[in-house]
Amino acid sequence: MGLCGFHASCSLLSLVLIIVFLLCGEHVHSIGRLQTDGCNLFEGSWIYDATYPLYDSSQCPFFEKQFDCVRNSRPDKQYLKYKWKPTACELPRFNGQDFLERLKGKTIMFVGDSLSLNQWQSLTCMLHTAVPHSDYTIYRTGAISTVTFPEYAVKLMLFRNAFLVDIVTEKIGQVLKLDSIESGEIWLRADMLIFNTWHWWLHTGRKQPWQFLQEGNKVYKDMDRLVAYEKALITWSKWVDSNIDPTKTRVLFQGVSPDHNSSADWDDPEAQNCYAQEVPLKGSTYPAGPHPAETVVKKVLSTMSKPVSLLDVTTLSQLRVDGHPSAYGIGGHAIMDCSHWCLAGVPDTWNQLLYTTLLKI
């Protein structure tokens, strides 16, 4: 007897196939969600993929010159061809149109330093590439930059705030107040907040934008930077717990973006820093081990009463010794950049992981 030997069976099979087709066509994202259930997305390795990068940087109107390594004449191109592969699953490929449709009418705000700028510019380009004929607007007012996709009523905002806590001008000079957040009213404008801070906590000398630190009534000329960082994160966590309504606002923490200023961290005696690194490190662990700031972030997040999703990008980014502008940023060989990331590049994977967290909602 054939598969449709009975008319009733054939009709039933046809109906099932039609339903499956409609479900797959309208809800492709559900496949991605099912494939990543129970999988640690942040544990894995980098593998070569000839279909990468996800976009052509020359077609992106949003980029800062410092991140556009191809435009800055970086000679090697293999660093563009790697994708992140979690050990136990496949990372869903980024679907920019689906991203915009899911967040229609919403405002996403990145709050942090130039690594937030790195991720924000990556995301704006990934979305523009997905809907190249959709209009967009871009403008900056003070510390806030905004890209809007009017067709979807989606706003992508960047609020530059390197420490999350306040820097205040007082008689003694610029004071970093470890227990004060005055800019939180602006953050409450967003439906999704993605926070980041670390990069500026280690700056000294002319790059340090404060002269003193203060906690309560105590003023310090300096203190252990990791201790100061934890105090600031605790202040931020209390702000989130006191001010965020999880039914209205989703909160994520970007994780700690590592630098590669010392090749001793990845046991390469022939290198000095990230310059001339052309391929990722093999495997899934970093020779120098966990980043100390990453440990602090996880410690603070574990104490919070409100839900915060961690984009735990530290280890996967540590493996990308090849991903920085190095001499192909804005400073050339005079200012070696082993902190920020080329675009296209590693922050695109951060945004793939951001997209995957949306699939899990």
Q: What is the set of active-site residues?
A: 114, 337, 340
Q: How far apart are CA 119 and CA 110, in angstroms?
A: 8
**Tokens linked to 357:** 């967290």
* 278 contacts 79 by C-beta, under 8 angstroms: yes
Neighbours of 19 (CB within 10 A): 10
Q: What Rg, from alpha-carbon coordinates, does the chain have?
A: 22
Residue located via tokens 């130039």: 114
162-170 long-range contacts (CB < 8 A, ≥24 apart) are: 162/112, 162/113, 162/114, 162/197, 162/199, 162/200, 162/209, 163/197, 163/200, 163/201, 163/232, 164/111, 164/112, 164/195, 164/197, 164/232, 164/233, 164/235, 164/236, 165/232, 165/235, 165/236, 167/209, 167/210
- Supply φ then ψ for residue 353, to 5 degrees: -70, -35
